[in-house]
Amino acid sequence: METIAFARGVPAPEMLPVDELQAASARVFERDPVRLLSYGTGGGYDPLRRSLAERHGVEPERVVVTTGSLQGFSLLAQVLARRATLEGRRARVIVEEPTYDRPLLLLERLGIEVVPVPLDGEGVDVEALDRAMARGADLAYLIPTYQNPAGATLTASRRRAVVASAERHGVLVLEDDPYGLLHFEEPAPPTLFSQRGEAPVAFSGSFSKTVAPGLRVGWFVLPEELAFDVATLANDTYISASVLGQATVHEFVESGAFEPNVERARGMLAERRTHILDALERHLPEATFTAPAGGYFIWIRLPDGLDAASVVAPAAAEGVTFIPGISFGADCGAYARLAFSSPPVDQIDAGVQRLAAACTAALALA
């Protein structure tokens, strides 16, 4: 019996634009081989940096292209931790609860104080966020659109409130937006970054969810001084990210393949979302959730307040994987994150059926 994996937020194999990337790779080998195969800079492959800068309406010096956006987050957190240390204090980062588990781990490793702010079906609680910002922070790390793990999207009015709080308290907001283009019906409200005005808002994006993770290309748009420090630390740590990956994805974008591929990914993800909603209704009707309007994830509260961690082993025995809520926040034990992006679409129903069986087994053990 093959395991059905809801655990990892990865694109399904059929979502990867293999032919277009192969063609892009071949063209860039023809066009720019010496730059492609030489060291780049900490800031990134210059043509890609410029095109991202244009997309975001900023100077290229504010863009830093990294080995996926997690690497960029690690560098940014290191810079912030160091700045705080030089001021004789501990860095402080506000996060949503729940939030993406990997940044949490990086913050903990660096000894940074993490301040969680609750999140509901309409995104982060903006009043709690404002109060947390009022106490001061080096960064507020938010995933406003199709959030990981909650699938929630910050409403338009809450977005305005977040930007206003950032400006009022002078706290830098990092808008992490790997999923923002992957809407199922209506596009999401405009990004925080696009409506930042004078507020301190930074942005991170990734080609991992819209093109292919194996390229390992993510990017940050930062205030100029911070961009310089992050690019310098990147250079000091690994000289440059893979030029091959950066040049290939740049060529892919320039050739006009990006938009059609995003459109294709939206369709495939929307179909998967429909399947998982149907399956949840059929097999786990007691589970509660907010249906995601885009992205890769659905965040369900398990029946009868089951501790999701206690379901992991029975689920593995049934042949299905997911991530228990505790990985994403201390108060999230009753939740499970299901990534519907990666299993074959015709296995989603069976996967949820197995999860339901695992819940029954866990309840019997409890």
- Give the residues lining the site for a second copy (CB under 8 A): 8, 10-11, 13, 16, 18, 21-22, 25-26, 29-30, 33-40, 66-68, 70-71, 74, 82, 102, 105-106, 109, 208, 212-216, 236-245, 248
**Side chain identity at 104, as an amino acid letter?**
L
Minimum distance of a second copy from residue 17's CB (angstroms): 8
Minimum distance of a second copy from residue 96's CB (angstroms): 20
Minimum distance of a second copy from residue 2's CB (angstroms): 16
Strand locations in the chain (E) = 4-5, 63-66, 92-97, 113-120, 123-124, 139-142, 173-176, 201-206, 218-221, 297-301, 320-321, 323-324, 335-339
Q: Which is nearer to a second copy, 242 or 353 (CB)?
A: 242
Minimum distance of a second copy from residue 95's CB (angstroms): 16
For residues 188 and 180, give the distance between their C-alpha atoms in angstroms, rounded to a whole number: 7
- Written as six digits, the tokens of 324 are 């228990």
Minimum distance of a second copy from residue 73's CB (angstroms): 9
| Cis check: omega of the bond before 149, within 30 degrees of 0 | yes
Q: Which is nearer to a second copy, 153 or 248 (CB)?
A: 248
Minimum distance of a second copy from residue 29's CB (angstroms): 4
**CA 77 to chain CA centroid, nearest Å:** 16
Q: Which is nearer to a second copy, 140 or 215 (CB)?
A: 215
Q: Which is nearer to a second copy, 219 or 289 (CB)?
A: 219
Q: Which is nearer to a second copy, 126 or 257 (CB)?
A: 257
Minimum distance of a second copy from residue 202's CB (angstroms): 19
Q: What separation, in Å, do the N-terminal and C-terminal C-alpha atoms of the chain show?
A: 26
For residues 283 and 355, give the distance between their C-alpha atoms in angstroms, rounded to a whole number: 9
Q: Which is nearer to a second copy, 154 or 217 (CB)?
A: 217
Torsion, Cα 67 72 78 82, to 10 degrees, reads 130
| CB 67 within 8 Å of CB 238 | yes
| CB 350 within 8 Å of CB 1 | no
Q: Which is nearer to a second copy, 40 or 149 (CB)?
A: 40
Strands 173-176 and 113-120: unpaired
Strands 123-124 and 297-301: unpaired
